[in-house]
Amino acid sequence: MSDGGTGIEALISLISRLPGLGPRSARRVVLMLLKKRTTLMAPLAQALSVVAQSARDCTLCGNISTDDMCDICTNTQRRSSGEICVVEDVADLWAMERGMAFQGCYHILGGTLSPLDGIGPEDLRIPDLVVRVEAGDIREVILALSATVDGQTTAHYVAESLEASQVRVTSLAQGVPIGGELDYLDDGTIKAALRARRPLF
């Protein structure tokens, strides 16, 4: 039946395709937008249209940006750190930035090696990384890839690709997460934490 005209129905169907939203919550979103037509709906349409037109991949690191080069790569202080953090995708970069612990630049691979899905080294931005490192001024490459089989396979492949350039290659530490209780941790994490134990004195 009619939900108030074809335009509104089309909008509900588009919004229900967003992650975490179904037909019911999409209707709720549209009702709220209809109530706030000028204060929320019009600005949202405008913001979406601007980003859809201007968003592109940073030519250096692959981060999504509204310019040719992203905010991080244009920051000379961050570039002069000589550190590149290698992540799988933009979501991981945003997660690292939320932590505010890293002050260098990034390199986004665009996924992990996955022979089963037909994703080989040529599908990721690994050759770009090698070129970037060989161009110089890079002291350290930090691999911040998922602690999954695919993530770790990719980490090893990237490390091998960078062997010739003699750059320092490190990886995020694996162990007990902050706030984690041993009782609830999986065996793999406990084993990794034990292997990587460190002296307190």
Which residues of this protein are in contact with its own copies, per CB under 8 A? 1-8, 10-11, 14-15, 17-21, 25, 27-29, 31-34, 37-38, 40-52, 54-55, 63-67, 70-72, 90-91, 94, 97-98, 100
With respect to its own copies, which residue has the nearer C-beta, 70 or 169?
70
With respect to its own copies, which residue has the nearer C-beta, 94 or 120?
94
Taking Cα atoms as reference points, which of 131, 123, 125 lies closest to residue 109? Answer: 125
Distance CA 2, CA 25 (A): 17
Beta carbon of residue 52, minimum distance to its own copies (angstroms, whole number): 4
Q: Which two tokens stand for residue 66?
A: 């509204």
Beta carbon of residue 130, minimum distance to its own copies (angstroms, whole number): 25
Beta carbon of residue 159, minimum distance to its own copies (angstroms, whole number): 27
Q: Are 175 and 198 a contacting pair, CB within 8 Å?
A: no
Q: Any residues with CB less than 8 A from the CB of 39 and at least 6 apart, and which?
A: none
With respect to its own copies, which residue has the nearer C-beta, 74 or 161?
74
Beta carbon of residue 67, minimum distance to its own copies (angstroms, whole number): 7
Distance CA 93, CA 79 (A): 16
Distance CA 142, CA 90 (A): 16
With respect to its own copies, which residue has the nearer C-beta, 76 or 166?
76
